[in-house]
Structure 1
Amino acid sequence: MPSAPATARPLRSPVEQPGGHRSSLFLVLIAVCTAVTAANIYLAAPLLPLIARDYGSTASAVAWIASVAQGGYAVGLLFFAPLGDGANRRRLVGALTVVTTVALIGAAAAPGTAALAVAVFVAAAATVIPQLLVPLVAERAPADRRARHVAAVIAGLFTGIVAARVLGGLAGQAFGWRWVFAGSAVLTLLLGLATSRALPSERRPGAPSFLAGIAALPGLLRRSPDLWRACARQAGMYGAWSAVWTSLALLLTGPAYGLSTATAGLFGLFGLTASAVAPLAGGMVDRFGAAKVVRTAFLVAAVSVPLFWLGGHALVALFAAAVAIHAALVASHVANQTLALTTTATPAAANTAYVVSGFAGGALASALAGPAFGHLGWHGVCAVAGVWLLLGWAATAVRR
């Protein structure tokens, strides 16, 4: 493996201080910043009915705005996340925070769907701050506690996703959707700048160009079989989760259960399982290694698939499956991301490859789950989830 490029030693950061108190506060700040910024990616989804009503449209006619946010995040991952290997992360996080804040304010004031879509796209593309912070945490954490530190940031990320889907909808109902975007802009600005200020001052040789960062990803995957396996595993796991989770509202609001959209949305609270499991998974990775945790996670996910199948007509099975799939997802994520961050000399680029792979697996599975539900019902969705798990496990079992 090539050695990391020589750089001037940065000033000691709170993570490196001898006292554990400052280190803990620094980690909490990063986790909270991750939660707030990650929420921006999913902020539009629960607000779509309110947005449609304001613009005199229907929810189905503006549903594409939520997809625009996903596309913007993917673009941001490819163009901005690899810069973490060479850029001064303090300045980069500060700049992205300002851009995200301006875009969220633009979304709050958008006069129509086109302007809103542009603002949401820019905000999602610039809110890749969590994927700049995770490599930094892994780089500076003690080796015997590295996975636990990564898990703390991942717990913040999942908490932000849950907050966006549950609290965002409730706040929008109470105050209006524009105030939700405005409030998120204020939180992003405050926490983003505070985190930027707390990051270590770095003198680095210079960030690679946008295109150079993207062009380096295929070669990085070829040179690192461990990174390739981590990417393939998480693509399978995230795809299985995405298939059932994006289709769950169709089951809950359909003839089988007949729940309201608001009640079905409360199922998002099961995402808090991830926040609770993440620290436990981090400790298990530090103690037993990433491979054992991933195998256990896939076993739990495999059990969740028949539970989801039973959940087509038994609500208690659906509850158990939701807890199991979230636990499996976050345990696998903590293990695979820790492995991805420590297997090459360019952790930011490796993290980009890892996150983009998982995102692509989830997006493709979600795209197949919709037609599967239309033709085969809920059992078709469960079949898609099962196939994705098998693909991920095959990548785990086969050595390159």
Structure 2
Amino acid sequence: MPTATVAARRSARVPTRRADSLLLVLIALCTAVTAANIYLAAPLFPLIAHDFGSTPSAVAWIASVAQFGYAAGLLVFAPLGDSVNRRRLVGVLSLVAAVALGAGATASGTTALAAAVLVASAATVVPQLLVPLVAQRAPADRRARHVAAVIAGLFTGIVAARVLGGLAGQAFGWRWVFVGAAALTALLGLATAYALPVEERRRSGPLFSGLTALPSVVRHSPDLWRACVRQAGMFGAWSALWTSLALLLTGSAYGLSTATAGLFGLFGLAATVVAPLAGGFVDRFGAAKVVRSAFALAALSVPLFWLGGHVMWALFVAAIAVHAALVASHVANQTLALTTTSTPATANTAYVVSGFAGGALASALAGSAFTHFGWGGVCAVAGAWLVLGWVTTSVRR
């Protein structure tokens, strides 16, 4: 009887594990498609400007609108993962994003397009609703690997938006790219919502209580605070270098075309490769060791980027190193953020918003630094962000 009972339990676990694996793959695909929506317009600006009878610089501000919309969506919708039905929320947000993208495809001017991008980006927080669920359902000894699978999907979507989006826009027109993104968002979003497990949620407070609880959650969790600050430093360094790289490549140092410079986005695929490895290292060695190694690798990439202002091979090596450092740090810090409090969705919101804020501020400083001090000034901003992110967390226990 005991042997038969054990065999029955094992046979029952096999379908469950298979179902969890399929759900994880579906969530990763949904994450890739929805994350791409934030950066969908950026490679299409020349085509959009030509269609509207304008210049690329006159429509480039729409990229900032997308970032602002995503930040607003994070603050408003992501904390709801702790208190509302996630299936319904994922389905509704996916449909809202799809409708907004469809409206963007029919826009007749920059104002209408910006409004559509704003709404679509605000509704594109679905990945941050799914990551806490993945961490919650994963076995303890494989939690970071499961989180890493979703993060790999996110970075793949970002790369696809910048590279494949531009190529598809050139072949079919920018409006059809928006239509395709709308169709994929609706299809995968609704499929993911249908596949999510049923959750019984009873809200005990106001609908947006998670938003007001953010400062308290961070203040009472030193591990979460440390993850937020360190990732803000890491993402800030990456943003300073990566957002300014096109200025270096298309400037007098190299004189590349915009299309050729855009191919550097393919180095983002290094993040997709590194994410599963980083997840395994976190599960085996712990988050702290992985974060230390990631900061050391990022610190090494900064002088390589400076050297890349003169020789191309250094840029190749530095681009791979900084993406590997970013994703390894992200996997470790986000796993820590998701497991350090009793409100993982709220903690995840604090973590993602902190990283986003660090990246936005560093990007703004890097643009000014490039104008006044050249590429060396950009590298100095990146180095300073790494130092601030590490030293600030090292002096507080």
Post-superposition shift, 1:176?
Answer: 0.6
**Structure 1 gaps, min length 5:** 1-15
Q: Aligned pair 1:323/2:320, yes or no?
A: yes
Over 3 Å counting, the alpha-carbon distance change for 1:195 and 1:113 in structure 2 is same
* Distance in 2 between residues matched to 1:325 and 1:147, nearest whole Å: 20
* Distance in 2 between residues matched to 1:20 and 1:214, nearest whole Å: 34
Q: 2:105 aligns with which of 95, 104, 108?
A: 108
Q: TM-score, normalised to structure 2's length?
A: 0.95
Q: Classify the secondary structure of the residue corresponding to 1:266.
A: helix
Map residues 81-100 of structure 1 onto 2, 5 A cutoff: 81-100=78-97
Structure 2 match to 1:367: 364
Structure 2 match to 1:216: 213
Q: 1:266 aligns with which of 251, 263, 266?
A: 263
Structure 2 match to 1:117: 114
CA contact (8 A) 1:100 1:188 kept: yes
Q: Classify the secondary structure of the residue corresponding to 2:275.
A: helix
Could you list the per-position Cα deviations for residues 359-393 of structure 1 after superposition, in whole angstroms to 9, with x for gaps in the alignment? 00000000000010001100000000000000111
* Distance in 2 between residues matched to 1:170 and 1:18, nearest whole Å: 40
Could you list the per-position Cα deviations for residues 43-81 of structure 1 after superposition, in whole angstroms to 9, with x for gaps in the alignment? 011011111110000000111001100000000000000
Q: Aligned pair 1:78/2:75, yes or no?
A: yes
Post-superposition shift, 1:290?
Answer: 0.3
CA contact (8 A) 1:83 1:207 kept: no
Map residues 4-153 of structure 1 onto 2, 5 A cutoff: 19-153=16-150
Post-superposition shift, 1:151?
Answer: 0.1
Could you list the per-position Cα deviations for residues 214-258 of structure 1 after superposition, in whole angstroms to 9, with x for gaps in the alignment? 211011111001000000000000000000000000000001000
CA contact (8 A) 1:76 1:126 kept: yes
Post-superposition shift, 1:18?
Answer: 5.1
Q: Aligned pair 1:255/2:252, yes or no?
A: yes
Q: TM-score, normalised to structure 1's length?
A: 0.95
* Distance in 1 between residues matched to 2:211 and 2:89, nearest whole Å: 18
CA contact (8 A) 1:277 1:330 kept: yes
User: What is the one-letter code of the residue matched to 2:334?
Assistant: Q
Q: 2:333 aligns with which of 336, 355, 360?
A: 336
* Distance in 1 between residues matched to 2:26 and 2:39, nearest whole Å: 21
* Distance in 2 between residues matched to 1:186 and 1:208, nearest whole Å: 36
Q: 2:304 aligns with which of 304, 307, 310?
A: 307
CA contact (8 A) 2:235 2:358 kept: yes
* Distance in 1 between residues matched to 2:208 and 2:365, nearest whole Å: 31
CA contact (8 A) 1:131 1:351 kept: yes
Q: Classify the secondary structure of the residue corresponding to 2:213.
A: helix
Q: 1:277 aligns with which of 267, 274, 278?
A: 274
| Number of residue pairs the alignment of both structures matches | 385
Q: Classify the secondary structure of the residue corresponding to 2:310.
A: coil
Q: 1:241 aligns with which of 238, 247, 251?
A: 238
CA RMSD of aligned residues (A): 1.1
Q: 2:198 aligns with which of 197, 201, 215?
A: 201
User: What is the one-letter code of the residue matched to 1:198?
Assistant: A
User: What is the one-letter code of the residue matched to 2:385?
Assistant: W
**Structure 2 gaps, min length 5:** 1-12
Structure 1 match to 2:167: 170
Percent identity reads: 78
Structure 2 match to 1:348: 345
* Distance in 1 between residues matched to 2:206 and 2:99, nearest whole Å: 24
CA contact (8 A) 2:38 2:124 kept: yes
Could you list the per-position Cα deviations for residues 174-208 of structure 1 after superposition, in whole angstroms to 9, with x for gaps in the alignment? 11100000000000011000000000111101286
* Distance in 2 between residues matched to 1:216 and 1:84, nearest whole Å: 14
* Distance in 2 between residues matched to 1:240 and 1:263, nearest whole Å: 23
Q: 1:230 aligns with which of 209, 221, 227?
A: 227
* Distance in 2 between residues matched to 1:257 and 1:17, nearest whole Å: 55
* Distance in 2 between residues matched to 1:267 and 1:150, nearest whole Å: 26
User: What is the one-letter code of the residue matched to 1:246?
Assistant: T
User: What is the one-letter code of the residue matched to 2:242?
Assistant: W
User: What is the one-letter code of the residue matched to 2:181?
Assistant: S
